[in-house]
Structure 1
Amino acid sequence: MGGMGKTTLAQLVYNDENVKSHFDKRIWVCVSDPFEEIKIAQAIIEEIDKDNSSKSSNVLQTLTQCIDKLIEGKKFLLVLDDVWSPNSYQWEELIKPLRNGGIGSRILVTTRKEEVVTLMKATTQLIHLKELGEAFCLSLFYYSADMDESSVSTEFKNIGSEIVKRCNGLPLAAKTLGSLMRNKKKIHEWQAVLKSKTWELKEIQQDVFRPLLLSYHDLSPATKRCLLYCVTFPKDYVYNRNCLIELWMSQDYLNVKESKEKIVVGQNYFDDLAMRSFFQDIEDVQFEYGNIKCKIHDIVHDFLRYLTENECLILDFELDASKRRDVSKDKVHHLTLVHATEGDSLQTFLPNYKKLRTLIAIQSSEYSIGPIFELIVQLKCLRTLDLRGWRGKGCLKEIPETIGGLIHLRSARLDQFVVPIIGGDEGNKLEHLKDLNQLQGTLAIHILGNPNMAENAAAIMVNKAHLLELRLEFYSIDEGKHGEIMNGLEPHPDLESLYI
């Protein structure tokens, strides 16, 4: 079952100090469904050598040859987490280069399916995780509730024991229910959880959904909306808290007017959801002071999909068309495109999603996005547009004036702002930013050569009071130009983070 603790146990092994010292390389890959050997191979290379250019290849042979060289003679531990449905050919192709590792290398797999174990011809070192015993479930429940189990009164302890029995030994359920009880200090509040009608619902897809539903119903309406929006992204997606808050702002979920107030409210909502165990694997973001990243457990993701029904749709164009979800286009408000290409009939189906409020592209094509953008501007309900996933040559070179027709658009996440080398009238200029004083969140500027600094350029950035982070990347700048350029990019004093 999901929520049994397979990934948690694998993480404990992976992060054990003795394990770290025993292997030359440790590699962790989230697999999920479907099993895509090219994506897994790319992830393996990324984990071993982040700067290796081969990781961007979509040719499996190129990737496996690279893996072969990177691990040759090295004793490695590879964790493949949450494996579902590989076929024998996919697995054989992936395992070939891994046989080149040093003696003592190990592959650790977590899966819900016995067929996967058989297919992989695993060793006899198979661990069937069983349900937690009641004592362990109680311990996890009280820990998550931030209570000292030894000092709990008899009355609370009796009700707590009955609640924990409903967990059926699932750690995720015990943790979720414990987090729910953290702010409930009165006996009638505990009794209400125990006697909730939610426990009797027949149509719930999985047992672990009932504790999650109890915790969900305990949220404020605004926090519920923010949580449900997270299912706009696929499983195993790494969420960035600041980006998530900006997305909530663009959907008008935060119920306050001022941008600074919205950020504080969004942080409070995020902290509440994290405290209730809806987020996991929370850690600081390198180079971004005060920002954090996190993930959502795949069972929680399934639960959110169950609640949103057809409101959020993720279309992965590397899947067969028969495997893509066919839903009523009128119901879809949030659409995420994964691995989309110019030839994927986007021009045919995109205009049909008239009520879209969110459009996001992830890991999409290098083909031109220009013709697609003309379709996007017809989606008049759009509030959030994120095309940063449209990579390489296909990224947006300029923003067409027709974007002005999207009168509800609140967040446009396109590409860094690139200032080309001097020459001709084409391309971005720094002074083009001068009047864009409502820019919020993060702005990244890539300056590829010595830019023309207009006489009135001194106020390019200083009036942008809503920017929290400014990222400046310079390439081939004459040393004598440094002072002139930096003076022209003086930020507003409220800026929180500057990266040069």
Structure 2
Amino acid sequence: MAKNECITIIGYEESGSIIQNARHLYLEIPNNAQILESIYSAKTLRTLIFVGYNDHKLSGLFQHFRRLRTLTLSSRYGELKEIPDAIENLIHLRYLKIRNYHGDGLPENICNLCNLQILKIKVGSEDRFMKLPQGMSKMINLKHLILKEEGYWTHLFEFPRGIGRLSSLTKLSRFYVGGKDDNQRCELGELKNLNHLQGTLKIYGLGNVVDACEAKNAEPKKKIGLRDLDLNFFGDNLENHGGRMVTDVSVMNALEPPPGLENLAIHWYCGTTMFPNNWIMSLAKLRRLTLRGGLNLEHLPPLECFSSLNI
């Protein structure tokens, strides 16, 4: 790597002429500090790791560094609440990571980043809801969509309709069924064409699934790269417990897991029975089974059928 290609600037440090050839920059801006004009002389910058106290300085960065391939945004003390619309200028971006984000959504024009392959978002611990943009179906080159939260509370991400068109996805950390607007609710069937998924998938909101047909359309058994699967049957309608007892059973029957699954977790399942016969053959390699909140279960699954299970 050539001299001065990797630069670290913290606070008011004057970068001078050394930044002109920088390709990778770590930039930390204290509260109320201004970005030095010399920063913008880095015309060939490809990587930017920005740590700041607020988001008002980001727009200028996005205007100047249009050739970025990798961008990490982070805030201190929970001040990063909005991503400027100017992010759409970064049309060459391949990797975007946003840490400690406290906004209730992402700008719609982030979906114009058609070359983006990896999107990682980690939200603040006290925030409980974030809406993903409706136009995400345009991000056809996206391979990794990783959503996480600080702390122990599960954060609610509202997924848009059409996310099932992202058929290049290999990593999807979680998927949410439902939504506040019935006209735009994300259905479980959006998973149908995401057959390249690998590793771990957590599905939330199965209590919002209308019927078994919707669950069957997801075709989880075709996701042969999955090794860990979390099924969370918690739903928006907490009062419909009686109806859920019937629906959850039919949904469970339709969600035949993929072969090769090693870890399975089931949360807040309201049905009285579990694991139909069509499931048993699919779980031959199951090593770990977690059941949480299944208060209506009349019988435990036939554990002797799972030869690889660690008990």
TM-score (structure 2 length as normaliser): 0.46
Structure having the higher helix fraction is 1
Return the index of the structure with the highest Cα Rg: 1
Structure having the higher strand fraction is 2
